Amino acid sequence: MRVDHREEHPATPMGWLDGGMSLQLTFAPALSRPDLLAAPVAAALRDLPEVEVAEIDPALADTAAFCERYGVSPAESANCVVIAARRGGETSYAACMVAATTRADVNGLVRRHLDARKASFAPVEAVTAATGMEYGGITPVGLPEGWPVLVDEAVAKTASVVIGSGIRGSKLRLPGRLLAALPAARVLPGLGVPQNGVGVPPGT
C-alpha cells in the first residue's frame, strides 16, 4: 500500500489506479469527520490524533471486496474478529486483530489464552448490540470495557494498517503500534495463521 506520511494532511488522497478499476481513498484526521465514525469509536479516538479515516462505498466494506476495489494490499489490512469464549456456563468476548492474509487461531492460541473450554466466532447480533457498531465495520477501537484485544505480532509491527471504523461506510488508517497500545490490548505472536480455506467471517 502506498502511504503518504506528510505532516500536513487535512485530506490525504490515496488512489491506486489500474486501468480505471480501482477507486480512490481520501484520508483525513479521524476526529475531523465524526460522521464517518461509530459513536463509541469517536469517543475512543479523542486521545489518538494519529488515526485517519476515509469514506468508502458501504457495499465494499468486506475486506476482500475493499482490498480489490481500492487497491489496498491485504497484508496492510487487518480484520477484527470477535470471539465468544465459554467456560463453566459463562460467556465472555474478546477481539482478535489479524492481517487479512491470515485467519485467527481461534481453537488453539485464542482458546488457550482466554482459558476457555470452547471458543468460536461470536454471533453477529450479539456483537453489534454490545458494541454499537455495524457488522462489516467492527473495530478494536471503542469496544466495551473488559473485552480483551488480542493483536497479532505482525499487525502490531505494521507501519500503516487499515481497519474498520465502526460503520460500513469508512475505514481507519493507523500505525500498528497504536493497536498494540490500546488499554485492553495484548500482542500475541502466532495469532494469525496462514489461510487454509477457512477464513474469518467476511463482515468483521
CA distance 78 to 131: 18
CA distance 144 to 2: 33
Instruction: Say yes or no to pLDDT of 1 above 70.
Output: no
Instruction: Say yes or no to pLDDT of 138 above 60.
Output: yes
120: exposed, middle or buried (C-beta count within 10 Å: 0-12, 13-18, 19+)? Answer: middle
In 3-state terms, what secondary structure has residue 57?
Answer: coil
pLDDT value at residue 150: 98
User: Is 80:150 a contact under the CB 8 Å cutoff?
Assistant: no
Read off the pTM: 0.85
Specify the amino acid at residue 144: P
Instruction: Give percent above pLDDT 70 in the chain.
Output: 85
Instruction: Say yes or no to pLDDT of 160 above 70.
Output: yes
Residue 61: CB partners within 8 Å, gap ≥ 6? 136, 137, 164, 168, 169, 203
28: exposed, middle or buried (C-beta count within 10 Å: 0-12, 13-18, 19+)? Answer: middle
| Among candidate residues 168, 139, 137, 123, the one with its CA nearest the CA of residue 45 | 139
User: Is 182:94 a contact under the CB 8 Å cutoff?
Assistant: no
pLDDT 10s digits, 15-70: 433 334 568 899 999 999 999 999 999 999 998 889 999 999 999 999 999 999 99
CA 31 to chain CA mean position, Å: 17
| Among candidate residues 104, 101, 103, the one with its CA nearest the CA of residue 112 | 104
CA distance 76 to 200: 16
User: E strand or H helix at 65, and its extent?
Assistant: helix 63-70
**pLDDT grade for 11, boundaries at 50, 70 and 90:** very low
pLDDT value at residue 23: 86
